[in-house]
Amino acid sequence: METTQAIVDCLADWWREHQVKYHYLEELVIDLDGGSATRSNRTQLIKRMVEFSQVSGLKIRLIYYPPHHSKYNPIERC
């Protein structure tokens, strides 16, 4: 089940596993489709992303696709 907690936990796990390889990164740009767990009005998502940013030292940029425009989302083409 996709939840805000699961999304940020997976991101944090990915970063722990790959931070040595991507040590030069200063910012992560994350494309989001506005689904129920990732909507911009989800305060829990924003809170957890801020916490992740503080722990990792990375700037986080959340990019949202327009509503009902999944055709722009590359994952939807798979």
Q: Could you report the per-residue pLDDT of 31-72, keeping only the tens digit for each?
A: 887 677 777 677 888 899 999 999 999 999 988 877 766 666
Question: Are the C-beta atoms of residues 75 and 38 closer than 8 Å to each other?
Answer: no
* Strand residue runs (E) in the chain: 27-32, 59-64
Percentages helix, strand, coil for the chain, rounded to the nearest 5? 45, 15, 40
60 is in which domain, residue-wise?
Answer: 4-14+33-77
Q: What is the pLDDT of residue 6?
A: 87
Is residue 27 included in any domain, yes or no?
Answer: no
| Residue 22 falls inside a structural domain | no
Is 26 a member of any domain?
no
With bands split at pLDDT 50, 70 and 90, how would you rate the model's confidence at 11?
very high
Mean pLDDT (whole number) for 22-26: 95
Q: How many domains does the chain have?
A: 1
